[in-house]
Structure 1
Amino acid sequence: MTLPLNHFKRALKEGRQQIGLWNTIAGPVVAEALAGTGFDWLLIDTEHSLTDVPDVLGMLQAVSAYPISPVVRPAANDPVLFKRLLDFGAQTLLVPYVQTAKEAQAAVAAMRYPPRGIRGAGGTIRANRFGTVDDYMNRAEQELCLLVQVETAATLDQIEAIAAVDGVDGLFIGPNDLAATMGYTGNPGHPVVKTAILDAIGRIAATGKAAGILTLDRDFAQECMEKGSTFTAVGVDLVTLLGGVRALARDFGRG
């Protein structure tokens, strides 16, 4: 068996814009339905959703038949969580709350097998197609992609240091947490926050690493892309679902 290619990682290296969608509703049915909608990548979230580590396996299997790249967000920068998700076959992780180069280095180590890292060595796992991928442990790193979240005001000063860490493929701005730490809790659309985000995206792009963002503001998403964001998430499944259902209820005099 051949090692599965990470098309998302290749696209980021080539600077090709990847438009994404957030999947917060647990289970394979919604994940599979979303996988066929035409987005480039789908974020399977285990940090701020009911989705837990065992759920991720079925969700990865459900989307595997579609031309979309799954990205998984673990609940924390934790090597045990990384090990399980990577063994399930996740090739791209988006790691929350990485504030320093040292924390980024810890995330990189958890992605890599010894001697370059600390990832535990499982033999018969989905990631190596149940033992059929030749020399998987020495080759896996080629197709793994690590994205880290910059989501505090203090971390903005650490962007260049984090980007300089070997093994970090991209930096993602977390608007809600960033806004809160800047004193604008619940208001990621405040002009001061937006200015900080655009500046951060430009600085990330200048380092040569990929810059990313999640925003439901379509105009701001365009601004972010113009500034250099190359993995840009523009929707959340639950938000879209509720928006549509509430509009339907209003059309019939309800809600």
Structure 2
Amino acid sequence: MPAPVNTFKKALSEGETVFGCWVGLADTLSTELMGTAGFDWLVIDGEHGPNDLRSILAQLQVLEASDSHPVVRVPVGETYMLKQMLDAGAQTLLVPMVESADQARQLVRDVTYPPHGDRGVGYALSRAARFSQIADYGTTADAQICLLVQVENRKGLAALDDILAVDGIDGVFIGPADLAADMGHMGDSLHPDVQTAIMDALSRIRAAGKAPGILSTHDPMTEAAIAAGAQFVAVGADVLLLSHAAQALSARWKDPK
């Protein structure tokens, strides 16, 4: 029996545009709820959400019954973290702050089994291999792992073409907030200079045959990003959805106009 087909990776390879949402509340019930909303994919956020290995594992488990594909964002591209997330059952990883081709090449090695990579061979004990039930996991897993890297500062943009030339990178996500801050426009990812940089990067990623990704809660920006070639498009975050709805409801009754 081979490793399960990564439907998210398959969709990207076939040129589809898939829509997702950030999941940062670090709670299994809210993640399960998000899994019923109809998104193609959900990011379990280990960088800015209060998640650890066990909370991410629990959310992977509740999303198993969902049609939303889980994408795990690790806090940093450390080899041991990537190994743990893969063994926990994640098939798609999102790695922040990638700034060079050398860094990208090491990430590819981290998610690839020997002899071509450094991923530890302990799948017989792992959830990823259904606790040894997937006998062919070791020989089939590499093809189903989807590696997404985040380019989100000027150094990363300068190295983008080199990063795009690395075999094994499936997609490149442009981080608007960090890029805006690095360009001197903290909190203003809609600044014209930032928007120009984002749309140019998305076009270059698509032209290189990789999948471009973006997070945008501003509809005109989202539409421009799709027009520029974005394929995996996050259009919201559970934290913002709850916070904004709660504030609006409170204001409706406490501060009626």
Shorter chain as denominator, the TM-score bin is over 0.9
Give the equivalent residue in structure 2 for 1:164. 165
Matched residue type, 1:150: V
Quick one: distance in 2 between partners of 1:202 and 1:191? 16
Residue number in structure 1 paired with 2:80: 80
Per-residue deviation at 1:53? 1.4
| 1:77 alignment partner, SS class | coil
Task: Measure, in 2, the Cα distance between the counterparts of 1:115 and 1:2.
Answer: 19
Give unmatched runs, 5+ long, in structure 1. none
**What TM-score does the superposition give when structure 1 sets the normalisation length?**
0.98
Alignment of 1:26-175 (within 5 A): 26-122=26-122, 123-175=124-176
Q: In the alignment, which residue of structure 2 is the partner of 1:222?
A: 223
Structure 1 stretches of 4+ with a deviation exceeding 3 A read none
Map of 1:183-222 to 2, 5 A cutoff? 183-222=184-223
Q: Distance in 2 between matches of 1:64 and 1:135?
A: 21
Aligned to 1:176: 177
Residues in 2 aligned to 1:71 and 1:190: alpha-carbon distance in whole angstroms = 28
The structural deviation recorded for 1:27 is 2.1
Deviation string for 1:3-57 (max 9, x for gaps)?
2110000000011001010000012111110011001000000001111111111
Per-residue CA distance 1:140-180 (angstroms, 9 max, x = gap)? 00110000000011211211110110110000000111111
Separation in structure 2 between the aligned mates of residue 31 and residue 229 of structure 1, nearest angstrom: 25
Q: Distance in 2 between matches of 1:76 and 1:117?
A: 19
Q: Is the 8 A contact 2:112 2:118 kept in 1?
A: yes
Partners of 1:39 and 1:119 in 2: how far apart? 30
* Per-residue deviation, 1:227: 0.7
| Structure 2: distance between partners of 1:203 and 1:97 | 18
Measured in 2, the distance between the counterparts of 1:106 and 1:9 equals 20
Instruction: Give, as a single letter, the amino acid of the residue that structure 2 aligns with 1:105.
Output: R
SS in 2 for 1:147: strand
Point out the more displaced range, 187-196 or 201-210.
187-196
The offset of 1:2, in angstroms, is: 4.4
SS at match of 1:229: coil
- 1:202-238 deviations in whole A, cap 9, x for unaligned? 0111101000001111111011001100000010110
3-state SS in 1 of match to 2:254: coil
Question: What is the TM-score of this pair, normalised by structure 2?
Answer: 0.97
**Equivalent position SS for 1:71:** strand
Q: Could you say what secondary structure the match of 1:94 adopts?
A: strand
Two-structure CA RMSD over aligned residues (Å): 1.1
Identical positions, percent: 44
Paired residue type of 1:183: G
